[in-house]
Structure 1
Amino acid sequence: MAEGTRRELFTILETSSADADTVPDGGETPVNLSMDVRWFEIPFREPEEDEEQDEEDGERENGCRSAGGAEDTAGGRCDIILVTGNGIKHEEEHPEEERYYSVSYNCSDDSDIDFSDMEEEEHASCFGLDGDSEEEEDCASPHFWGEPDQVISIEPFSVLSGPQHSLGSDADTRDYFRLLFPDSLFEHMVEQTNSYALYRQRRSGKSDPHWHPTDLREMKAYMGLNILMGVNQLPDVDMYWASDIFIGNAGFKKTMTARRFEKLTQNLHLCDRESEPVRGERGYDGLYKIRALLDVTENTMWDSYTPKRCLTIGQGAVAAKGRFCPTQYMPSKPLKKGLRVWMLCDSRSGYCHRARIYVGRASEDATVTALAYRVVTSLVRGLEGKHHHLFMDSFFTSVPLMQRLLRDGLYACGPTEPGRRGYPEVLRPCNVGKLSPGEFYQCQRGNLVATVTRDSKVVSCLSSNSAPGLVGIGPDQEQQGEGDDNWTDTPEEGGVSFGVPRPLPLLLYQENMRGVDLCDQLRDCYPVGRPCKKWWRYFLWFYVNICIVNAYVILRESRGSVPPGGCNGKHFTQRHFRVRLAQQLIGDYQGARGMERAARKRHADSPIEYGHRLERMSERSRRCRNCTNKGLRHESVFGCKICNVHLCRGGCFSEFHK
């Protein structure tokens, strides 16, 4: 085959890493991909008769043999492009049968390219059709899919994205958290908590002598203690107020008593119970108990950070202990059983823009596809026409959803179930047969590309933001030699061998589907809240935790590597952010310990600050240390074993430890 023809069939686009790194977020590159990947473009092209005539007799037999497996199983005409280190062979077509696309690889060394240099042609519509014909033709039609020989059209992303706030350089962690969780929510919690405490007393018919109304300062201090419990995790709440000096926390004891913390936890509420609608009544809301929280945080999360180009839609899980009807079994998640939440997150930072709580399938959601369709359209509302790139898992991805997103000006990519409506019949496992690692087949309909490939297993995916025929070969990380920064193709030389070729849709998904997982990792490192018997409490602490993670992401992107003023150390991690936020929420608040002491029957026998306790020291009485210091002579058998002194049971114990 002539060298000119070979360049037409197999195009290598070369770009330096320095030029690719300077491409802005809103530039021509539809996605951000690793520069360690070697890229190849293998465009689909029908053979010309004069070029095929010379090689037809000698190559027909071998070409049919290499494509035999695909032809036998799929029953379609194949246009096989075989890429080898020695050259390219374009096999003969079978005109009486239907075609699809197959590629095999053995790549050479001089093939580093970047997707950003591809030239894109403009089309009249995202499917290459006018709007009326697109709406009329069903995706399940046998003529819907065609050959992967069309150029896709991707509009550039030019929206100003990132944190949106007016905080100055002197802003601290509390200011960033206030962007997501404003003081109005604390005031609402104070009002409804006091109201619910009175509601419980009226319902029981007796007053609670250990309860007094809370206020804004105490509610913030209560929230700060819950945040610190996620950093300093103990198996039981009472252990934070333990008398053991190795377990008890002096800061917790100074802020409020264990009984006060327990009472706040019992009466914590976010809604008016007396006006709550009953199930079956008009206006019933399954999320009524946290509706006020959802209304506020949904707006603050969306307004504080404008979504960037690449977004992830995935499923999150909230750990819950109890028998709640919304609890789901999720075998694909690290947390197998819990409360399900669907999230829209930034692919790079993990910032959560929106979250939707699953409370049961609606009556109109007859199938999983219908439910996934409604979830995605709800999460992306407000992004229409801005040309974002969405990455979803197989639960959501379907042909009707991809069509809807394209009509709304949104591009998407993700694996799918091959048995769903609209997926090409020729790409289903029963028709494709056994694939070799790196081999893939594709069909196309305008911007919509269907791909089936074999990586660690057979994967079927749909994409509307990747051109057909593009493949990348990433380095095998396990083969990297220590202390060697250069990539090589020979593991024996101490370098890295390049692994199995992957089509572009699969690489896009692997590079940009980390958003929800990253958000879950940041959230699960320091969980907020304790297990309880009320399901809505788990969602309350879930949103508090999400607001903390989002505030940390905003601070990190707004300030870069510069920590807030007064923070020592080079690194300002999420742990430092949470500890500093809790300290600022607590401030100098100290609970009304006198009101707690008055309700106790045996004040002197109760533990006090720093783990000291009044106990019987010996059978023989000895002089009280506190009275001796004042020039008095009194004896007692009681005292403090930690201080190893005898003290009177009256006020000497408290006075001595002040």
Structure 2
Amino acid sequence: MCSYEREVKRLERLADEVNSDELSQLTESDNESLADEDHNLVSDHELDTEQESFSDVEEQANLLRRSRYIKISTTTTETNTTEIMALLGLLYLAGSQHGGRKHIAEFYSDDGLGCEIFPAAMAQRRVKFLLRCLRFDDTNTREVRKSQDNLAAVREMMIKFNEQCKVHYSVGEYVTLDEMLLAFRGRCRFKMYIPNKPNKYGLKVFSMVDSRTFYTSHLEIYAGTQLEGPFKIDNSTAAVTERMCMHLSGSGRNVTMDRWFTGYKIASLLLREHRLTVVATIRANRRSSIVMPVLERKWLPRHV
């Protein structure tokens, strides 16, 4: 074989190697594009679900804007689902930074103490405007619904919120049940006054959360004494505790709860009917808390 033929063979082998490398790179790029398409399909599905959830909020906000703000400016233009989701994202971010007691202007401060995401996402005046217009129900039928339900303004939103909390995350084997008082001094039928709380006036909320990740599994707002109808429920300690644990029935989880929820009968009911164990403090002055009724009070330890 002459040198010319050897050189031709060498160039053919080199061309084959180059073609095989290009083919492998093309296959990898195709796989990446297919993965991106699959991801986009999932993202589009999630986006459609979120848009359906916030479409009513968007509609009510725009209706309120048309009725109150005749003059249209960059601050008072109509909103959309994307902007509503951005607003809720800013509120979540403010909560993660413990900004419940901060004024909104502090997040827009340019002295190094503010949060850069806030001015990048939305103007301060626009945030205030959207918060004034934000509604979670049909305001035209609210008065009719309030005749049967004290929680008519947020009832539908709370139902959807609890459903989505259960769909997107499964809590671990340890959960915590507690109550909290959200500071509020406005007009409300079921506003409560608890003197031993930091915020003495507010709305009482029962919450079931994951003990490790603090993810919320279920929320219930105390709506006071409801009128006769479909929304009248029992607000006794045993009823509230069983209602908050109902979605975990039969799962074998352990529930840590405050002494307000605890009683011997309640703990026995959760174990017998729902296969849930309880870790809690039992108050000795509650009749249902005496575990060993044959013993006299003086023989019971002080911490029982």
Query: Same fold per TM (> 0.5)?
Result: yes
Report the AA paired with residue 222 of structure 2. Y
| Residue equivalent to 2:104 | 237
| Residue equivalent to 2:168 | 304
Deviates more, 1:223-232 or 1:415-424: 223-232
- How many positions carry a matched residue from both structures? 250
The alpha-carbon distance between structure 1 residues 361 and 372, as it changes in their structure 2 partners (threshold 3 A), is farther
| Residue equivalent to 1:418 | 284
**1:124-161 per-position Cα deviation (integer Å, ceiling 9, x unaligned):** xxxxxxxxxxxxxxxxxxxxxxxxxxxxxxxxxxxxxx
Q: Distance in 1 between matches of 2:238 and 2:115?
A: 49
2:140 aligned residue (246, 259, 274): 274
Deviation at residue 266 of structure 1 after TM alignment: 1.6
Aligned residues: CA RMSD: 3.7
Report the AA paired with residue 373 of structure 1. A
The alpha-carbon distance between structure 1 residues 407 and 247, as it changes in their structure 2 partners (threshold 3 A), is closer
| Residue equivalent to 1:223 | 88
The alpha-carbon distance between structure 1 residues 351 and 264, as it changes in their structure 2 partners (threshold 3 A), is closer
Q: Distance in 1 between matches of 2:112 and 2:255?
A: 50
Deviation at residue 277 of structure 1 after TM alignment: 3.5
**1:565-617 per-position Cα deviation (integer Å, ceiling 9, x unaligned):** xxxxxxxxxxxxxxxxxxxxxxxxxxxxxxxxxxxxxxxxxxxxxxxxxxxxx
Report the AA paired with residue 383 of structure 1. L
SS in 2 for 1:345: strand
SS in 2 for 1:193: helix
| Residue equivalent to 2:303 | 459
Deviation at residue 212 of structure 1 after TM alignment: 2.3
| Residue equivalent to 1:384 | 249
Q: Greater RCO between the two (CA within 8 Å, min separation 6)?
A: 1
Report the AA paired with residue 77 of structure 2. H
Q: Please say if residues 149 and 226 of structure 2, whose CA atoms lie closer than 8 Å, have aligned partners that are also in contact.
A: no
Deviates more, 1:252-261 or 1:414-423: 252-261
The alpha-carbon distance between structure 1 residues 312 and 333, as it changes in their structure 2 partners (threshold 3 A), is farther
Q: Distance in 1 between matches of 2:149 and 2:258?
A: 29
SS in 1 for 2:247: coil
Q: Distance in 1 between matches of 2:79 and 2:227?
A: 42
Report the AA paired with residue 79 of structure 2. T
Between Structure 1 and Structure 2, which shows a larger proportion of helix residues?
2
2:177 aligned residue (313, 318, 342): 313
SS in 1 for 2:140: helix
1:195 aligned residue (48, 63, 76): 63
Deviation at residue 223 of structure 1 after TM alignment: 3.0
**1:529-557 per-position Cα deviation (integer Å, ceiling 9, x unaligned):** xxxxxxxxxxxxxxxxxxxxxxxxxxxxx
Q: Distance in 1 between matches of 2:197 and 2:64?
A: 36
| Residue equivalent to 2:220 | 356
Q: Distance in 1 between matches of 2:143 and 2:164?
A: 27
Q: Please say if residues 146 and 152 of structure 2, whose CA atoms lie closer than 8 Å, have aligned partners that are also in contact.
A: no
| Residue equivalent to 1:620 | none
Correspondences of 1:112-511 after superposition (within 5 Å): 182-200=50-68, 207-210=70-73, 211-230=76-95, 231=97, 235-238=102-105, 252-253=118-119, 255-278=121-144, 281=147, 284-322=148-186, 324-330=188-194, 335-361=199-225, 371-408=236-273, 409-422=275-288, 423=290, 424-425=292-293, 427=295, 429=297, 431-432=298-299, 452-453=300-301, 458-460=302-304
Correspondences of 1:79-94 after superposition (within 5 Å): none
Q: Distance in 2 between matches of 1:305 and 1:250?
A: 30
| Residue equivalent to 2:27 | none
Deviation at residue 262 of structure 1 after TM alignment: 2.7
SS in 2 for 1:354: strand
Q: Distance in 2 between matches of 1:232 and 1:312?
A: 21
**1:295-340 per-position Cα deviation (integer Å, ceiling 9, x unaligned):** 2211111122334333222112323344544333445655554321
Spell out structure 1 runs of 4+ moving beyond 6 A.
Answer: 247-250
Q: Distance in 2 between matches of 1:198 and 1:372?
A: 45
Deviation at residue 235 of structure 1 after TM alignment: 4.6
Report the AA paired with residue 271 of structure 2. L
The alpha-carbon distance between structure 1 residues 275 and 349, as it changes in their structure 2 partners (threshold 3 A), is same
The alpha-carbon distance between structure 1 residues 253 and 377, as it changes in their structure 2 partners (threshold 3 A), is closer
Q: Please say if residues 277 and 285 of structure 1, whose CA atoms lie closer than 8 Å, have aligned partners that are also in contact.
A: no
The alpha-carbon distance between structure 1 residues 261 and 334, as it changes in their structure 2 partners (threshold 3 A), is closer
Q: Please say if residues 418 and 428 of structure 1, whose CA atoms lie closer than 8 Å, have aligned partners that are also in contact.
A: no
SS in 2 for 1:306: coil
Q: Distance in 1 between matches of 2:135 and 2:146?
A: 23
Q: Distance in 2 between matches of 1:232 and 1:352?
A: 17
Deviation at residue 250 of structure 1 after TM alignment: 6.8
Deviation at residue 414 of structure 1 after TM alignment: 2.2
The alpha-carbon distance between structure 1 residues 249 and 295, as it changes in their structure 2 partners (threshold 3 A), is closer
Q: Distance in 2 between matches of 1:370 and 1:248?
A: 42
The alpha-carbon distance between structure 1 residues 208 and 239, as it changes in their structure 2 partners (threshold 3 A), is farther
**1:10-45 per-position Cα deviation (integer Å, ceiling 9, x unaligned):** xxxxxxxxxxxxxxxxxxxxxxxxxxxxxxxxxxxx
Q: Distance in 2 between matches of 1:245 and 1:385?
A: 54
Deviation at residue 377 of structure 1 after TM alignment: 1.4
Q: Which stretches in structure 1 are left out of the alignment for 5+ residues?
A: 1-167, 202-206, 433-451, 461-658
Q: Distance in 2 between matches of 1:263 and 1:214?
A: 10
SS in 2 for 1:285: coil
Q: Distance in 1 between matches of 2:257 and 2:116?
A: 47
Q: Distance in 1 between matches of 2:281 and 2:84?
A: 45
The alpha-carbon distance between structure 1 residues 370 and 232, as it changes in their structure 2 partners (threshold 3 A), is closer
| Residue equivalent to 1:627 | none
**1:54-89 per-position Cα deviation (integer Å, ceiling 9, x unaligned):** xxxxxxxxxxxxxxxxxxxxxxxxxxxxxxxxxxxx
SS in 1 for 2:180: strand
Report the AA paired with residue 206 of structure 2. W
Q: Distance in 2 between matches of 1:340 and 1:332?
A: 13
Report the AA paired with residue 401 of structure 1. I
The alpha-carbon distance between structure 1 residues 245 and 335, as it changes in their structure 2 partners (threshold 3 A), is closer
Report the AA paired with residue 459 of structure 1. H
Q: Distance in 2 between matches of 1:372 and 1:262?
A: 39
The alpha-carbon distance between structure 1 residues 235 and 388, as it changes in their structure 2 partners (threshold 3 A), is closer
